[in-house]
Amino acid sequence: MSYNDQNIFSKILSGDAECVKVLENDFILAFMDVMPQSPGHTLVIPKYKTKDFLELPPKYFPHILDATQKIARSIKKVYSPSGVMILQLNGAEAGQTVFHLHFHIIQRAEGLNYQFHSSKVSDPEVLKKEAQKIIDNF
Protein backbone atom coordinates (compact mmCIF):
# COMPACT_ATOMS: atom_id res chain seq x y z
CA MET A 1 0.00 0.00 0.00
CA SER A 2 1.44 3.37 -0.98
CA TYR A 3 0.95 6.64 0.88
CA ASN A 4 -2.57 8.03 0.46
CA ASP A 5 -2.82 11.83 0.69
CA GLN A 6 -6.44 11.58 1.80
CA ASN A 7 -5.56 10.32 5.28
CA ILE A 8 -6.64 12.60 8.12
CA PHE A 9 -3.11 13.46 9.32
CA SER A 10 -2.12 14.54 5.79
CA LYS A 11 -5.16 16.83 5.84
CA ILE A 12 -4.12 18.20 9.23
CA LEU A 13 -0.63 18.92 7.81
CA SER A 14 -2.03 20.71 4.79
CA GLY A 15 -4.43 22.72 6.97
CA ASP A 16 -7.51 21.07 5.45
CA ALA A 17 -8.47 19.52 8.79
CA GLU A 18 -8.25 20.96 12.28
CA CYS A 19 -6.25 19.79 15.25
CA VAL A 20 -5.37 21.00 18.74
CA LYS A 21 -1.68 21.80 18.34
CA VAL A 22 0.91 21.13 21.04
CA LEU A 23 4.25 21.63 19.27
CA GLU A 24 5.42 22.43 15.74
CA ASN A 25 8.66 23.06 13.88
CA ASP A 26 9.92 22.55 10.31
CA PHE A 27 10.13 18.78 10.79
CA ILE A 28 7.28 17.71 13.07
CA LEU A 29 3.78 18.54 14.26
CA ALA A 30 2.38 17.37 17.60
CA PHE A 31 -1.31 17.54 18.43
CA MET A 32 -3.92 16.06 20.74
CA ASP A 33 -5.44 12.70 19.84
CA VAL A 34 -9.13 13.35 19.23
CA MET A 35 -10.09 10.07 20.97
CA PRO A 36 -7.67 10.11 23.91
CA GLN A 37 -6.78 6.90 25.71
CA SER A 38 -6.10 9.06 28.75
CA PRO A 39 -5.95 12.84 29.39
CA GLY A 40 -3.05 14.43 27.51
CA HIS A 41 -2.81 11.70 24.81
CA THR A 42 -0.64 13.40 22.17
CA LEU A 43 0.50 12.38 18.69
CA VAL A 44 3.78 13.39 17.04
CA ILE A 45 3.98 13.19 13.25
CA PRO A 46 6.75 14.03 10.78
CA LYS A 47 6.19 16.68 8.12
CA TYR A 48 7.09 13.99 5.63
CA LYS A 49 4.62 11.83 3.80
CA THR A 50 5.24 8.28 4.87
CA LYS A 51 2.75 5.73 6.08
CA ASP A 52 5.12 4.15 8.54
CA PHE A 53 8.43 4.33 10.38
CA LEU A 54 10.18 1.97 7.98
CA GLU A 55 10.34 4.59 5.23
CA LEU A 56 11.21 7.65 7.33
CA PRO A 57 14.45 9.43 6.27
CA PRO A 58 16.92 9.49 9.19
CA LYS A 59 17.14 13.30 9.25
CA TYR A 60 13.71 13.25 10.95
CA PHE A 61 14.79 10.91 13.75
CA PRO A 62 16.21 13.51 16.16
CA HIS A 63 13.29 15.86 15.65
CA ILE A 64 10.70 13.16 16.34
CA LEU A 65 12.58 11.94 19.41
CA ASP A 66 13.19 15.45 20.78
CA ALA A 67 9.51 16.33 20.48
CA THR A 68 8.38 12.98 21.91
CA GLN A 69 10.66 13.28 24.92
CA LYS A 70 9.70 16.92 25.53
CA ILE A 71 5.99 16.06 25.48
CA ALA A 72 6.46 12.92 27.60
CA ARG A 73 8.33 14.95 30.22
CA SER A 74 5.61 17.58 30.25
CA ILE A 75 2.87 14.92 30.57
CA LYS A 76 4.80 13.49 33.53
CA LYS A 77 4.87 16.94 35.19
CA VAL A 78 1.22 17.74 34.47
CA TYR A 79 -0.45 14.46 35.43
CA SER A 80 2.16 12.70 37.59
CA PRO A 81 1.27 9.31 36.10
CA SER A 82 3.19 6.23 37.19
CA GLY A 83 4.03 5.52 33.56
CA VAL A 84 4.21 7.13 30.14
CA MET A 85 3.78 4.90 27.10
CA ILE A 86 5.34 5.74 23.71
CA LEU A 87 3.53 3.72 21.06
CA GLN A 88 4.07 3.47 17.32
CA LEU A 89 2.29 1.01 15.03
CA ASN A 90 3.28 -0.04 11.50
CA GLY A 91 0.64 -1.65 9.31
CA ALA A 92 -2.98 -2.65 9.79
CA GLU A 93 -1.89 -6.01 11.18
CA ALA A 94 0.00 -4.15 13.89
CA GLY A 95 -3.12 -2.16 14.73
CA GLN A 96 -2.36 1.01 12.74
CA THR A 97 -5.53 2.82 11.65
CA VAL A 98 -4.22 6.14 10.27
CA PHE A 99 -1.60 5.68 7.58
CA HIS A 100 0.67 8.65 8.17
CA LEU A 101 3.47 7.77 10.59
CA HIS A 102 2.73 8.84 14.16
CA PHE A 103 4.02 8.30 17.68
CA HIS A 104 1.54 8.15 20.56
CA ILE A 105 2.42 9.56 23.98
CA ILE A 106 -0.02 8.18 26.53
CA GLN A 107 0.10 8.49 30.30
CA ARG A 108 -0.53 5.22 32.13
CA ALA A 109 -1.51 4.71 35.73
CA GLU A 110 -3.61 2.38 37.80
CA GLY A 111 -7.26 3.23 37.21
CA LEU A 112 -6.55 4.71 33.75
CA ASN A 113 -7.65 1.72 31.75
CA TYR A 114 -6.02 1.27 28.38
CA GLN A 115 -7.78 -0.20 25.37
CA PHE A 116 -5.97 -0.41 22.08
CA HIS A 117 -8.21 2.28 20.57
CA SER A 118 -10.84 4.52 22.05
CA SER A 119 -14.06 5.31 20.19
CA LYS A 120 -15.06 8.29 22.33
CA VAL A 121 -14.39 11.64 20.64
CA SER A 122 -13.36 14.23 23.19
CA ASP A 123 -14.86 17.69 23.59
CA PRO A 124 -12.45 20.08 21.73
CA GLU A 125 -12.51 22.49 24.69
CA VAL A 126 -11.27 19.69 26.96
CA LEU A 127 -8.49 18.88 24.45
CA LYS A 128 -7.47 22.57 24.32
CA LYS A 129 -7.20 22.70 28.12
CA GLU A 130 -5.09 19.53 28.22
CA ALA A 131 -2.87 20.83 25.37
CA GLN A 132 -2.30 24.10 27.22
CA LYS A 133 -1.25 22.27 30.39
CA ILE A 134 1.34 20.30 28.38
CA ILE A 135 2.60 23.43 26.59
CA ASP A 136 2.88 25.32 29.89
CA ASN A 137 5.14 22.59 31.25
CA PHE A 138 7.71 22.45 28.42
Q: Does 95 bind ligand 5GP (CB under 6 A)?
A: yes
Q: Does 103 bind ligand 5GP (CB under 6 A)?
A: no
Determine whether 41 is an active site residue.
no
Which candidate in 41, 63, 100, 102 is catalytic? Answer: 102
Q: Does 130 bind ligand 5GP (CB under 6 A)?
A: no
3-state secondary structure 8-67: HHHHHHHCCCCCCEEEECCCEEEEECCCCCCCCCEEEEECCCCCCHHHCCHHHHHHHHHH
Residue 46 phi, psi (nearest 5): -80, 150
Residue range at the interface with ligand 5GP (CB under 6 A); choices 29-37, 54-62, 63-71, 75-83:
29-37
Contact criterion met (CB below 8 Å) for 70 and 23: yes
- Pattern 65-94, ligand 5GP, x by CB under 6 A: ------------------------x-----
Contact criterion met (CB below 8 Å) for 30 and 23: yes
- Shortest CA distance to 68 belongs to which of 108, 28, 97? 28
Q: Does 126 bind ligand 5GP (CB under 6 A)?
A: no
Question: Based on C-alpha coordinates, what's the Rg of the chain?
Answer: 14
| Residue 124 Cβ vs ligand 5GP, minimum distance, rounded to whole Å | 10
**Interface ranges with ligand 5GP (CB under 6 A):** 8, 19, 31-35, 89, 95-98, 117
Q: Which residues are catalytic?
A: 102
